[in-house]
Amino acid sequence: MARAATTTDAFNAVAEPRRREILEVLARGERSVGDLVGELELAQPQVSKHLKVLHEVGLVAVREDGRRRLYRLNGRGLKPIHDWVARFEQHWEDRFGVLDAVLEELQEEP
Amino acid sequence: MARAATTTDAFNAVAEPRRREILEVLARGERSVGDLVGELELAQPQVSKHLKVLHEVGLVAVREDGRRRLYRLNGRGLKPIHDWVARFEQHWEDRFGVLDAVLEELQEEP
DNA sequence: CCATCGTATTCCCATATGGGAATACGTCAA
DNA sequence: TTGACGTATTCCCATATGGGAATACGATGG
Q: What is the pLDDT of residue A92?
A: 80
How many percent of chain B have pLDDT more than 90?
Answer: 78
CB contact under 8 A, A4 and B17: yes
The residue that leads in pLDDT, B66 or A94, is B66
User: In this structure, are residues A74 and A27 in contact, taking their beta carbons and an 8 Å threshold?
Assistant: no
Say if strands A60-65 and B60-65 run parallel, antiparallel, or are unpaired.
Answer: unpaired
Length of chain A measured in residues: 110
Q: What is the pLDDT of residue A82?
A: 96
CA B36/CA B44 separation, integer angstroms: 8
pLDDT-derived band of residue B57, with 50, 70 and 90 as boundaries? very high
DSSP secondary-structure letter at A95?
A: S
- Tell whether the model's pLDDT for residue A24 goes beyond 90: yes
Could you tell me the fold of the domain covering B10-108?
Answer: Arc Repressor Mutant, subunit A (1.10.10)
CA A42/CA A39 separation, integer angstroms: 9
Length of chain B measured in residues: 110
- Tell whether the model's pLDDT for residue A101 goes beyond 80: no
Nucleotides of strand D lying closer than 7 angstroms to a protein CB: 5-10, 14-23, 26-28
Q: What is the pLDDT of residue B100?
A: 55
Nearest residue, CB atoms, B82 vs list A6, A61, A89: A89
CA–CA distances in Å: residue B101 to residues A33, A55, A58, B23, B106: 20, 12, 9, 31, 9
| Helix pair angle (B79-86, A79-86), 10° resolution | 140
Question: CB-hemisphere CA count at 13 Å for B35?
Answer: 14
CA of B64 to C1' of C25 (A): 15
- Tell whether the model's pLDDT for residue A108 goes beyond 50: no
User: In this structure, are residues A58 and A77 in contact, taking their beta carbons and an 8 Å threshold?
Assistant: yes
How many percent of chain A have pLDDT more than 90?
Answer: 78
- Tell whether the model's pLDDT for residue B38 goes beyond 70: yes
List of E strands, chain B = 31-32, 60-65, 68-73
User: In this structure, are residues A10 and A78 in contact, taking their beta carbons and an 8 Å threshold?
Assistant: yes
Chain B residues with CB under 8 Å of A18 CB are none
Range 16-45 of B in CB contact (< 8 A) with A: 16-17, 20, 23-24, 27
Report the pLDDT averaged over residues B62-88: 95
Report the pLDDT averaged over residues B9-17: 97
Report the pLDDT averaged over residues A11-30: 97
Report the pLDDT averaged over residues B11-21: 97
Q: What is the pLDDT of residue B110?
A: 34
Q: What are the structural domain ranges in chain B?
A: 10-108
Report the pLDDT averaged over residues A81-87: 96
- Residue B22 CB: number of other CB atoms within 10 A? 25
b/e per residue, B48-68, with b = 16+ CB within 10 A? eebbebbbebbbbbbeeeeee
Mean pLDDT score of chain B: 88
